Amino acid sequence: DLLLLRFLARHHPQPAQASRAAAAAARLAAASGQLAVARDLLERAERPALSPRDCALLDWADGDILLDAGLLSEATLRHREALDRLEQDRAYDLAATLMRRTADLLLARGLLDEAGRRYREARTLHRRVDDQVGVAASLRGVGDLALASGEVLNADAIYDEADEVLGGSSEAGLERANLRLGQAGLAIARGNVASAEELLYEAEELAGHLPLMRANLARRRADLALRRGGHEEAMELLAEAIPAYQRAGHREAAAAAIRLRGDVAAARGERLEAARHYSLAIAEAVRVGDLIGARRVLEHLLVLERTGHDAERVDELLALREELDGELGHPGWRDSLRLRLS
């Protein structure tokens, strides 16, 4: 709860606990679009009373918030400052985990080159503390990146390497489930439906009790249902996945799932309904600063509108695509795009 965390950030008697509440509150505020509130919470923290580790956590949260605002260079600088603090404190395990999670965020935003750099750094740090599960998770992230880039053979080899690193570890249930999820995506890309279904079942057996995993499984199964013409089933699965992503704060994934809703509607020949879902997906991506995700959905909307022979609407969307391409990294781009989409 944002109000409770803000109260703890300002009034908790222990500075370390107050700073952690501030970081959590800032992330929640940023997720709801309150960037000024988020950064103010971080700036108010009593840094002189904090350990290097707690200062680093504040800096890292600030970096993630800057990333949410589309300010990659500034975010990278703040993350680098935090990493220096953690290395001085020899907190290599925490540094590795934060680096990998930020790589996941960058990958979700389609920033593949930067995500790749972060995964490589995370893998090096995980190896430094002999964390094999962390090494495998970093490798799996690189495999996801390769798959997103269309490098199917490379993704397959990397996933196999991650599987070998995990071995028979009894502590790797969640990471093994995430790996099976990636391998299912690879099977879908290859058109191997039976293999994808088997891999999704294994992921469910390993971690299907977790809300985010359930959302991911529903999203993948909706994709499979669409491919075999199960439109109603796909819509039911997406009705489960989208609110789960939104509750978990994974709004980039929510936008992608809403876009898939548009794909299902388009496959059913429901042009107006498809256009509505695509517009909602673009608005969701814009709301969280996912410019690349917004552009990806816009391509689907353009394909749809071209089938409707509305030249004026197509020209309007082409102009919006040009604006999206030109405004990347500009701090005011989200507000102008909201106006265009309203």
Residue 333: pLDDT band by 50, 70, 90 thresholds? very low
pLDDT of residue 255: 93
> Regarding predicted confidence, which is higher, 84 or 337?
84
> Regarding predicted confidence, which is higher, 170 or 323?
323
State yes or no: pLDDT of 326 exceeds 90.
no
pLDDT of residue 43: 85
State yes or no: pLDDT of 73 exceeds 90.
no
Residue 29: pLDDT band by 50, 70, 90 thresholds? confident
Mean local confidence (pLDDT), 177-198: 94
Residue 328: pLDDT band by 50, 70, 90 thresholds? low
> Regarding predicted confidence, which is higher, 168 or 174?
174
Mean local confidence (pLDDT), 20-28: 89
- Segment among 80-84, 231-235, 277-281, 333-337 with least mean pLDDT: 333-337
State yes or no: pLDDT of 180 exceeds 90.
yes
Cβ contacts of 330-337, under 8 Å, gap ≥ 24:
330/70, 331/69, 331/70, 331/71, 333/70, 333/291, 334/70, 334/286, 334/287, 334/289, 337/286, 337/294
pLDDT of residue 337: 43
Cβ contacts of 232-239, under 8 Å, gap ≥ 24:
234/260, 234/264, 235/261, 235/264, 238/264
pLDDT of residue 336: 42
pLDDT of residue 112: 87
Mean local confidence (pLDDT), 19-25: 90
Mean local confidence (pLDDT), 65-79: 85
Mean local confidence (pLDDT), 263-277: 94
Q: What is the pLDDT of residues 211-233, one digit of tens each?
A: 999 999 999 999 999 999 999 99
* pTM summary value: 0.83
pLDDT of residue 305: 86
Percent of the chain with pLDDT over 70: 95
The overall average pLDDT reported for the chain is: 87
Mean local confidence (pLDDT), 181-208: 94
pLDDT of residue 240: 96
Mean local confidence (pLDDT), 255-264: 96
